[in-house]
Amino acid sequence: MLPRLFRSVAAVLTVLLVKSCVCVTEEDGGELLEQKQVMEFYRKDLFILESLPLKHCITVDQFSLVLADCERPTRRMLWKWVSRHRLFNLGTSMCLGLNISDPTQPLGMFECDMASPVLWWRCHGNMIYGASEWKLNVAGRLVVVKKNIYHEWKRHNTPKEGPCSHPYEEIHTLLGNAHGYPCVFPFNYNNKWYSECTTEGREDHLHWCSTTDRYDLSDRWGFCPVKASGCEHFWESNQELGACYQFNLYTILTWSQALSTCQAQGGNLLSVTSLAEHRYIHDRLASVGAMVWIGLNHLEERHGWQWSDGEPLALVNFTTALAASPLENNRQCGVYNSANGGQWQSLTCEAALPYICKKTQNDTHRSEPLENWQYIHTECADGWWPHNGFCYRVLPETGAGSWEGSSQTCRSQEANLTSLHSLSEVEMHLDLLANYSGESTEVWIGLWKRASSPAVEWSDGSPVTLTLWHQYHPIHNLTDMKLCVKVDRQKGNWLLAPCYERHPAVCRRASLSPVQHRGTWQEGCPTGWKRHGHSCYMVTGHEQNHEDARMGYYCKAPLLSVENRFEQAFINSLLSASGANSSMFYWIGLMDQGRKGEYSWLPHNGSSLPLTFTNWNKHQPVSTSGCVAMSGGAALGRWEVKDCKSHKALSVCKQSISSYHDAQLPEHHVEAYAPCPPGWESHSGLLHCFKVFHDEKVLMKRSWVEADFFCQALGAQLASFQHYEEQVFVKHLLTTMFEGTEGRWFWVGLNKRNPEHLGAWEWSDGSSVVMSFIEDKNEEEDRRDCAVYSNLTNALMPRPCETKHEWVCKMSRGDKLIKPYWYTEQSEPWVFYRGAEYLLAKQPFDWHSVSLACQMMGAHLLALHSREEVHFIKERLRQLSLGQTDWWIGLSIAQPGEEVRWSDGTQIDFHNWADGGFHTNLRKDELCVTMSSSTGKWSTSKCSDLHGYVCKRITVSVVETPREPHYIGGCPENWLYFGHKCLLLHLPDSPRKGKSWKDAQSICSLFEGSLVAIEDEIEQAYITMLLQGHSVGVWIGLRDEDTMKWTNGKPVSYTNWSPVEPKSYLTQDEWLTGDADEQLCTVLSNNHNFHLTGKWYDEKCSESGYGFVCQKPQGAVPSGFYLV
């Protein structure tokens, strides 16, 4: 082996000796490939680049790039996106680039690490462009670059997928000496270029890569994460727990990067599902003192905390340190902190930390067993709901009781409070509650937590196999208190609650007759079909194109339409049971019927279902004019767009058993003709209202999470486009508001943050993704998980979620706008248009009165300076007027011959007079000018006439005050308003009737609050004032174990400690030596004999002689809570 110096010199000479022609050294690369070989290359992210209009594909010959027959593929036709946006050619092992020094034709193939040619490429839809606006084009048979002519390209064997539709994704390394840095592709090792991980040079045949262009120069490398059965390499096996663990303690990645690295090895970020597993992790990290990523996350906003691998989150006592409002605080990803006793905490997902992976032997989350969905004929007594061998009943509203009382009632009927173990049972449960006529919004189920236990369990003794926590649950502070679980009727999410609350409950008992499992699958269905609910399903055994499949040659029934996530889960189980694998796809009845990019279900019997649910795979949908098939591979059941004519696949068919339809799950009702809130925009035919929050109207641009919280605080969501018409409307709205050349980016709700969806884009409000929204640009993929809308391109582009942008909110017509205390927009809002804002007031007054009114608001009567401005105002006036009306604008003529100027002092540089023009005022009466709401034309009128008016000001008002967002609303009876909080003061008559710190915190928790967190000297003074006339101190929300954070998770930014020693009622020895057996908690003094009134000092938490102050956010008053 050559010494490193000689290897380095040889590598440099290799770069310098590159010739202008393409010289293939190891193999010609021109041999024809078999279809099987081509498909294998496709699976490795290589593709063939086809000219859309010419139907020929790019290949590399000895001297240039040319078009060739796509059906005669060679290695020199295969391309791959690699690091730094380069395009690598497999046959030549070189990169496509531009020699800018050659102004005539700079396109060529170059060594991939050369500095002088420009090697990066980007896409705009189906167009490829490089530096200096050079665009990949065609001249006869040659492939060239041109500056002013566009040419469209696509990936061969796809409907119309752009070249960048599957962008390059970084692979982060394991071990080695690269500390997790990503692979660089291609990299050069022993004078050969590698565009993927290799086993070359290793006797153990483990895959590795270099983290620099040339390994021989840097020796920087790491192992590649590769799926493998077992735990032989890089994993620590624990036979007792039945899992393997990988502790990556010297690599720091973001949460999503860590998740991808674990998943690439067939595992996931760590989930902790038992006390034994928690002890194992605790012991393993005891000597390290590290904060590491685990799979805990709150990235599915419509639900609560969850594990990324789908395991149940049952250890609820470990969630006490998680952010109570993760969206507001942007702390949505979980860490295990071994430096703090193994506590679970939450951080922003963009932080870089070490991480732990976990892998189990069986992939139980690919799909549920098909038996879970099996239809079983079930007999039940009157009033009970039959479902697959069990009978269910909601206890009547009149009998609503505590959890324990409901459990006893169920047992008296030979039943138990229901337990839920699979999605099929969750679906049944929602159907049952949808048919329940009671008014209660929540019901008890059989899940509960004993006072002595850290985990929830089912009252019937069955194992906990899934959890579906409500938003912000299962966080609680009542670790030593019995808690029970109730279910939200509308969405089925679970909430922890005190067991004494009174709710209806669901009981479950066995069927009256013995269950016959055999032969019941096909009841009501043709032979070979499987039943789910009131429909039958069949997977065909022959491949065909989509046109033949929808003709029903093999199943004589419509292709599958999927209405919700439960039906999709059933289909996943059906495909898995039929032997689905990575080479299989299954046609469904979804396609781009109008060839405009919007996907919809095929009609059946003259009508088609609305697209209310989508389940796209990663990077999908990527093109128009395609048909949709389900994947049979690792992303089982995920939807992909395929070519309707050339692609062949199996099919899934569906037919109804009868005219009976399942009960529809409750959906949000939209009042189609309800008006929008003031300042929100829509037009006829749209069911939603939109509002743009732009830089001129808000205090600051925001990250995606911050913008999402802002919208939700108003009772809205970040904007989604459920149909193309909504996107057109938002484009019109932005075009009207801003100059056409003013490029702005606005956050909308499209994101791929939820690990459950495997990198697929989804709307944050749960809307279906009906078309391809993302513009393919070949940007860095790994950290661009949120989408912005561009008002210039009318396209959505991926951006890092932490970048700051403006945003658009959306709410359903008829929904009530919430106005938090920090939201300051008036009930008659000003309308923004191109740097100014306008107020349109219908109340009729004379001209001088309205002129003064405008001035009092820092404005003037309307001055118009362009035809576009006139059109904007006219459209606004038309919406407010019934028929033809006139509105005052800022022109008046007091004396004949007087120079006419706008009332704001600007000159008249634009005219829009009715009747041919302005006539000089020959009368002595002062005349003022109106504008017609129907024509926009100007006319003179007596200034004493009464009309509506339009004010205009250049100084734009903002809609928020500089305070952190909090919800605001009412406070319960006996609670006090303070800022954005409600405060409850409890002062006992004497210390004998006081409470310990723990009891005080428990009582506050029952009110869905916590002991007070004092944020500043104003709040300190207010509470001190409330204590006047009493002599008992009060507990506040601080403990000695964490004096940097209040018990509600907020950081301590203000303190008021007492200077008096000793600090507490500990003995002096205890205080000096720190030998106290008990924890210390903080008291706010109200007895100046020991400490100055209002000062803070520490006391034993168990002391029970104190009052306390609770706090909670302002909002709805919880029922059933009383302080005794």
Neighbouring C-alpha atoms within 13 Å toward the C-beta of 783: 12
Q: Is 368 helix (H, G, I), strand (E, B) or coil?
A: coil
Local confidence band at 273 (pLDDT 50, 70, 90 cut-offs)? very high
- By the 10 Å C-beta count (0-12 exposed, 13-18 middle, 19+ buried), 520 is classed as middle
Local confidence band at 1051 (pLDDT 50, 70, 90 cut-offs)? confident
Alpha carbon distance 737, 697 (integer Å): 12
Alpha carbon distance 719, 721 (integer Å): 7
Alpha carbon distance 777, 1099 (integer Å): 61
**Percent of the chain beyond pLDDT 90?**
42
CA angle 647, 652, 658 (to 5 degrees): 150
Q: Which pTM was predicted?
A: 0.74
Neighbouring C-alpha atoms within 13 Å toward the C-beta of 925: 8
For residue 967, pLDDT over 60 is answered with no
> What are the structural domains, with CATH classification, of the chain?
18-155 (2.80.10.50), 236-360 (3.10.100.10), 371-510 (3.10.100.10), 530-602+610-656 (3.10.100.10), 836-953 (3.10.100.10), 976-1113 (3.10.100.10)
pLDDT of residue 9: 38
Local confidence band at 10 (pLDDT 50, 70, 90 cut-offs)? very low
Copy the structure tokens of residue 8: 């380095």
Alpha carbon distance 650, 541 (integer Å): 6
Segment 751-774 shows an average pLDDT of 86
Alpha carbon distance 373, 566 (integer Å): 10
**CB environment 1067-1105: b (16+ within 10 A), e (fewer):** eeebbeeeebeeebbbbbbbeeeebeebbbbbbbbebbb
pLDDT of residue 85: 92
CB atoms within 10 A of CB 38: 19
Copy the structure tokens of residue 229: 């059965």
Segment 271-286 shows an average pLDDT of 94
Which one, of 754, 764, 751, lies nearest residue 801 by Cα? Answer: 751
State residue 224 phi and psi, 5-degree precision. -95, 140
Q: Give the DSSP letter string of 693-726.
A: E-TTTSSS-B-HHHHHHHHHHTT-EE---SSHHH
**More confident position, 816 or 757:** 816
State residue 862 phi and psi, 5-degree precision. -55, 130
**More confident position, 744 or 248:** 248
Alpha carbon distance 6, 591 (integer Å): 60
Q: Is 1041 helix (H, G, I), strand (E, B) or coil?
A: helix
Q: Give the DSSP letter string of 1051-1113.
A: B-----B---SSSSSS-HHHHHH---SS-EEEEE---TTTS-TT-EEEEETT---BEEEEEEE
Alpha carbon distance 559, 562 (integer Å): 10
pLDDT of residue 989: 79
For residue 663, pLDDT over 90 is answered with no
pLDDT of residue 797: 86
Do 707 and 807 meet the contact criterion of CB atoms below 8 Å apart?
yes
For residue 741, pLDDT over 60 is answered with no
**More confident position, 1029 or 186:** 186
Which of 272-281, 977-986, 992-1001 is the least confident region? 977-986
Which of 115-124, 259-268, 776-785 is the least confident region? 776-785
Which of 403-412, 868-877, 898-907, 1038-1047 is the least confident region? 1038-1047
Radius of gyration of the chain (CA): 34
Local confidence band at 671 (pLDDT 50, 70, 90 cut-offs)? confident
Which one, of 539, 795, 519, 758, lies nearest residue 653 by Cα? Answer: 539
pLDDT of residue 604: 82
pLDDT of residue 1015: 82
Report the first-to-last Cα separation within the chain, whole angstroms.
84
- Which residues, including other chains, have CB under 8 Å from residue 622's CB and lie 6 or more apart? 158, 161, 162, 165, 166, 641, 772, 776
Local confidence band at 961 (pLDDT 50, 70, 90 cut-offs)? confident
- Which residues, including other chains, have CB under 8 Å from residue 17's CB and lie 6 or more apart? none
Alpha carbon distance 209, 215 (integer Å): 9
Segment 459-464 shows an average pLDDT of 94
Segment 602-611 shows an average pLDDT of 84
Which of 187-196, 200-209, 483-492, 1013-1022 is the least confident region? 1013-1022
Which of 479-483, 489-493, 976-980 is the least confident region? 976-980
CB atoms within 10 A of CB 213: 21
Local confidence band at 241 (pLDDT 50, 70, 90 cut-offs)? very high
CA angle 553, 554, 557 (to 5 degrees): 80
Greatest mean pLDDT range, 169-183, 465-479, 540-554, 866-880: 169-183
Segment 494-521 shows an average pLDDT of 81
pLDDT of residue 163: 92
Neighbouring C-alpha atoms within 13 Å toward the C-beta of 833: 25
Each residue of 32-78: pLDDT tens digit?
998 889 988 988 899 999 999 999 999 999 778 999 999 999 999 99
**More confident position, 568 or 12:** 568
Local confidence band at 660 (pLDDT 50, 70, 90 cut-offs)? very low
Copy the structure tokens of residue 1029: 């006339």
For residue 283, pLDDT over 90 is answered with yes
pLDDT of residue 896: 65
Local confidence band at 772 (pLDDT 50, 70, 90 cut-offs)? confident
**More confident position, 1075 or 208:** 208
Which of 107-116, 487-496, 1026-1035, 1075-1084 is the least confident region? 1075-1084
**Percent of the chain beyond pLDDT 70?**
88
Do 88 and 188 meet the contact criterion of CB atoms below 8 Å apart?
no
Alpha carbon distance 1082, 1099 (integer Å): 6
For residue 3, pLDDT over 60 is answered with no
Which one, of 950, 896, 885, lies nearest residue 918 by Cα? Answer: 896
pLDDT of residue 28: 55
Provide the 8-state DSSP code for 580. Answer: -
Alpha carbon distance 1048, 503 (integer Å): 28
Greatest mean pLDDT range, 270-279, 874-883, 1016-1025: 270-279
Segment 1085-1089 shows an average pLDDT of 78
Copy the structure tokens of residue 1036: 């506040």
Alpha carbon distance 114, 108 (integer Å): 12
Do 1109 and 983 meet the contact criterion of CB atoms below 8 Å apart?
yes
The continuous run of DSSP H or E covering 432 comes out as helix 423-434
pLDDT of residue 831: 85
Q: What is the mean pLDDT of the chain?
A: 84
State residue 1073 phi and psi, 5-degree precision. -90, -15
Which of 465-469, 536-540, 604-608, 852-856 is the least confident region? 604-608
Do 334 and 318 meet the contact criterion of CB atoms below 8 Å apart?
no
pLDDT of residue 15: 37
